[in-house]
Amino acid sequence: MTDTTTTPPAAGRGPVPLPAAGARLLIAAGAVGTIASTFMSWTWTPDFPGDLTVYGYPAGLQVLALVAGALTLLFALRLWDVPGLRWLNPGNATSPVFLTAMAAFTVCWFAGIAIAVDLGGLVNLDPGAYVAMVASALPVVGALALPHPAPGTGLTGYLTKPAQPRPGKLSPLAERGFITAGTALALITFTYGIGIDNDASETFIGFLLLVVFATWALMHTGLVDRYATISAHHKGFAASLAFLAAVIFPFTQSDDHNANVGVNILIFATVALGLNIVVGLTGLLDLGYVAFLGVGAYAAALVSGSEYSRFSGVQFPFWAAALTGMAASLVFGVLIGAPTLRLRGDYLAIVTLGFGEIFRITVNNLDGDSGPNITRGPNGITQIPDLNIFGFNLGQPHEIAGFTLGRFANYLFLMLIVTAIVVLVFTRAADSRIGRSWIAIREDETAATAMGINGFRVKLVAFALGASLAGLAGTVMAHVNYSVNPQPYQFAGAAPPNSAFLLAAVVLGGMGTVSGPLLGASVLYLVPEKLQFLQNYELLAFGIALILLMRFRPEGIIANRRRQLEFHETGQLDVPAQKTLTDEPAATKAGA
């Protein structure tokens, strides 16, 4: 029998049928069982990452299962229409419940399988692991027993974002509180993920499973879209909070290596933002963009005061070195762009790919044997001294408010300032007259030219600006790494930076957006860093990720609205429902 109990009608709404009581109980019981299992032992030996042998103290994958179980329980309570949880799933849609249940299921079952594989058999599983695996399966069964979100569509219906009721308007103070909560959640998530030991790849895979399914569920509830909309209304406040969260991050880390990971993410994210001007806004496919990063790095290294520099007696202050790196990249951008930007499509891509290879081969040959001794060839320029800015040596640890900040934390603060400058340049340029011209060129160059836009000049400006931003990031990278050498500056390499990495960061994150390349660079750098066994299969992983992305979300993780309209038919986009949580049904309004 099905439960036909209904909720009391809200103002202006008819009765809403509640799902079957048995399914609701199954979801809630499974969620409680999953939470309880995390306080039990999952294996008898501490050899498995995280030490899952302690009763009453969740660790490693148990913490992730605990969070997934708690999320599933919250969504289960929403099915019972518990007061105060209506915001979590305004339309009481089925798919978010299914996705949170899948988060707990995948984490628990992956943990059980990983223990059995790593330690040599099911005999290594303690009762807690079996409880977790059984309990986490119950909410999945219960969610599938709920009314289907789109009858007749099968599993696709659970993966398709449902139309949620349009939320009521919040006060400005509540909107700022919502942005603050979202920023804090993002900081906690990133801090936890980056803090996972590189040897604990099992824990990081569980973390990825939880983040993917939980984020997917929140997208289906409409909370992610609402956060994006509210952030757009409070751009200054949201940007300030994001910058503050990044400043707080080094104070949360006891290992300076994690700050080093953060510095590299910011460097590559900054370069990806420059590439986003060329690819995302202007629509030019550049396959040799990493060469501009190399030009800036080599230019800064030559004037850094290194004893291995061709100009060892020259040591510019940071601001002068940064301007030198930007100017060198700008000049190369103009020199390469001027004769080639009259090409389009694949022809332009081939030329830029050739430029990237020419740069790498050239600096490799400027060793004093094959050519002039400028770059020292494969040996590169080494022993680049740390920056000293206003008497503050970035290479030395410093005590601030009782916290010891190491070398990489110092460079992280510097890169935050550089990234903020690049973001400001990107946003101002994109919103300017030249930015609108870039977009017009990307949409239809022939039509834009017919309307009076000088396509060649506009593309050359984009090329030069993107190159100079890459040169600025290269200036900092040269000092962070102590050296520069030709090896990284190729189309595809064993590790970033390379052009394939940068292009994937832009496409994966979302072309034409600010936060897209930042997110894309973070994901693509952090995943190989934590999953060491993937480093030999990096290109394969890139290919699989891009294929999946092109199939399910071609506009990128963070979608530009214009791009979203290009890639989807109108019926495929998320259209707000015709009623709000407090409005009368659309039919009643029409009749009135």
Best CA proximity match to 244, nearest among 183, 177, 176: 183
Q: Does residue 438 lie within any of the structural domains?
A: yes
Please, which pLDDT band fits residue 229 given cuts at 50, 70 and 90?
confident
pLDDT tens readout for residues 103-114: 999 999 999 999
**CB of 104 within 8 A of CB of 36?**
no
- Torsion angles phi and psi, residue 42, rounded to 5: -100, -20
Please, which pLDDT band fits residue 566 given cuts at 50, 70 and 90?
low
Residue 307 and residue 406 in one domain:
yes
Residue 377 and residue 444 in one domain:
yes
Residue 208 and residue 286 in one domain:
no
66-77 mean pLDDT: 94
183-197 mean pLDDT: 90
Residue 308 and residue 387 in one domain:
yes
Spatial neighbors of 249 by CB under 8 A, at least 6 apart, are 187, 190, 191, 262, 412
Q: Does residue 316 lie within any of the structural domains?
A: yes
Question: Percentages helix, strand, coil for the chain, rounded to the nearest 5?
Answer: 65, 5, 30
221-245 mean pLDDT: 89
Whether 27 has a pLDDT exceeding 90, the answer reads yes
Whether 259 has a pLDDT exceeding 80, the answer reads yes
Whether 575 has a pLDDT exceeding 70, the answer reads no
Q: Does residue 315 lie within any of the structural domains?
A: yes
Residue 264 and residue 336 in one domain:
yes
Average pLDDT for the chain: 83
pLDDT tens readout for residues 485-509: 888 888 776 566 778 888 888 888 8
108-127 mean pLDDT: 92
Q: What's the CA dihedral at 214, 572, 225, 508 to 10 degrees? A: 70
> Does the pTM exceed 0.75?
yes
Q: What is the pLDDT of residue 208?
A: 92
Range of the domain at 297: 254-491
Residue 206 and residue 294 in one domain:
no
Where is pLDDT greater, at 29 or 148?
29
CATH number (domain holding residue 111): 1.20.1440
Region of poorest pLDDT, from 178-182, 219-223, 526-530: 526-530
Q: Does residue 128 lie within any of the structural domains?
A: yes
Q: Does residue 578 lie within any of the structural domains?
A: no
Whether 563 has a pLDDT exceeding 50, the answer reads yes
240-261 mean pLDDT: 86
C-alpha 151: how far from chain center? 33
Residue 259 and residue 366 in one domain:
yes
Q: Does residue 382 lie within any of the structural domains?
A: yes
Distance CA 489, CA 292 (A): 9
pLDDT tens readout for residues 260-297: 888 999 999 999 999 999 888 888 888 888 889 989 99
Percent of the chain's residues with pLDDT above 70: 90
Residue 211 and residue 301 in one domain:
no
Instruction: Among 437, 462, 491, give the residue marking a domain's end.
Output: 491
Whether 428 has a pLDDT exceeding 60, the answer reads yes
Region of poorest pLDDT, from 114-128, 325-339, 432-446, 496-510: 496-510
Residue 354 and residue 212 in one domain:
no
DSSP 8-state assignment for residue 279: I
Distance CA 111, CA 125 (A): 10
Please, which pLDDT band fits residue 310 given cuts at 50, 70 and 90?
confident
Instruction: Among 445, 471, 491, give the residue marking a domain's end.
Output: 491
Distance CA 347, CA 353 (A): 10
**CB of 510 within 8 A of CB of 520?**
yes
Residue 476 and residue 365 in one domain:
yes
Q: Does residue 529 lie within any of the structural domains?
A: no
Between the two ends of the chain, the Cα-to-Cα distance in Å is 38
Bond before 497 cis per omega within 30 degrees: yes
The residue type of 41 is: S
Q: Name the token pair of 135.
A: 């309990």
Whether 388 has a pLDDT exceeding 90, the answer reads no
Residue 65 and residue 108 in one domain:
yes
Region of poorest pLDDT, from 36-45, 293-302, 547-556: 547-556
Whether 152 has a pLDDT exceeding 80, the answer reads no
Q: Does residue 471 lie within any of the structural domains?
A: yes
Q: What is the pLDDT of residue 370?
A: 75
Q: What is the pLDDT of residue 583?
A: 39
The count of domains in the chain is: 2
Residue 147 and residue 259 in one domain:
no
Please, which pLDDT band fits residue 10 given cuts at 50, 70 and 90?
very low
Q: What is the pLDDT of residue 15?
A: 34
The residue type of 340 is: T
Please, which pLDDT band fits residue 564 given cuts at 50, 70 and 90?
low
Q: What is the pLDDT of residue 201?
A: 87
Distance CA 27, CA 7 (A): 19
Instruction: Among 491, 513, 541, give the residue marking a domain's end.
Output: 491
